[in-house]
Every structure is written in structure tokens, then in C-alpha cells.
Amino acid sequence: MRKKIVAGNWKMNKTRNEAIALVNGIVEGVSKLKISENVQVILAPPFPFLESVFQLSKNSSRISVAAQNCHSEEKGAYTGEVAASMLESIGVSHVILGHSERRAYFNEDNNFLAKKVKAVLKNNLKPIFCCGEILAEREKGNHFNIVKTQLEEGLFVLNSEEIQNTIIAYEPVWAIGTGVTASSEQAQEMHAFIRGLIKEKYGDNIAGNYTILYGGSCNAKNARELFANTDVDGGLIGGASLIANDFITIVDSF
């Protein structure tokens, strides 16, 4: 059975006190939900709050903690960067890689991301690998090719054992933070396409058990419809993850 996941990407938001209040609200809310044992919650706060969020949520078997990024190298003269081993040492279990904002603002390409994926796995962490097209690419009908290239170059460098310790998040860039959401049909179409790529590369069994998340203005109002699709296994949530009640509603949408 595929794991269902709701991951909250807080991006560059919240002060320490606000982060503590938010995680406490989420922990309390999740504890009251009657949801399948197969549902997992992942919180991705900014770097300064990772250890605090881990300590406050560690007693909940439902909740894990993710970093929003890491470097490809283990250590060295990389001022301002954070290594995967550092994240693992404070309780982090997942790392978001290849988010469209990292690709756009920091010029991260697929080859660099492949190195990051390897570094994360080497330290027994799980990558949440983001892929997705910009509006112009979709309007030209090139969205499938864009996503295929991102996955083949950035993630499908892994072997069959390694790939099973990863998660893919499809994020149509034109829907991130815009309030515009891909339709349920658009989301399902791309998720089915991605699962087909996994099947072609790694076989039926791995593809059938692989978790693929949707990201892009997923919120408390549309999550249930999106998650009802056969190949949508949850969401990578942005703005709605900053409000405890909204995030809890999304978690309860399976």
C-alpha cells in the first residue's frame, strides 16, 4: 500500500515563537484525527527551527521533519550551506530538493540536484524531489517532456533500491503561490504520467508502491478532491501549511 503524505513547506516564514506555536497546534490537531495508519505528516520549517520542531513533535509517530534544502557536499568551505549529515544529526528525516524556487532563484540544475539526492540518501535521509513546468511550457504542450527530463536527469540516476527511499512532488510552477490550482484532471494526468515513467524504469511493483505528491496552491478547500485521484498520494503544501487548522483539514482529507 502506498504511503499517503501531507508535507508542509513553511518556506521563509515564521519567527521562533510563531514556529513553536504552529507546530504545537499541528501536533495537537493531528493527535485528534482518526486517520489511517498509512498517513504521514512531514513538517519543513526554516533551518533555524528544525531542531525545535523535531523536539516538539518527536513523540508523535505521525510526524516527521524535513529540511527545505541541503548541499551536495559532506563538509568544507561552503559558507552559508548545510550538509545532509548535519540534518540527520538533529533528527531530520527528509529533505526537499529541486523546488521550483531553488531552480529559479539559485540556478539549481538537474545534474546538481542528482548530486544532492545522492548526498541525502548517503546520510539515510529521504529526498522529496520536486518537478514541474512553467506556464509557457504547458501552453506549448511541452510539460510532459520537461517533467520527464527533470526526473531522468535528477532522480532516475538511482538504482532500484535507492529509488524506493525517495518521494516525488509534482508542482506545476504556474500554480505555486498564485492561488491557481491545477484541475483535478490535470493533476491526475501528470501523476499518472510520472508513475508510468517509474514503471518503465523500475518496474510495476516499485511504481505501484511509490508515493507521488501534488504541490501548487493545494489548500483546505480543494485537497479532498485532489487526493481522491488514483495517482495523487498527498500534497506538498505551501501557504496553507502556515495555518494549523487549515493544515489539519488537509491532513484529514484522505
Residue pair 192/231 in contact by the 8 Å Cβ criterion? yes
Distance CA 131, CA 98 (A): 7
CA-to-CA distance for 147 and 113, rounded, in angstroms?
A: 14
Say if residues 57 and 23 touch (Cβ distance below 8 Å): yes
Question: What is the grid cell recorded at 140?
Answer: 506549448
Residues with a known catalytic role: 99, 171
Question: Rounded to whole angstroms, how far apart are CA atoms 232 and 226?
Answer: 7
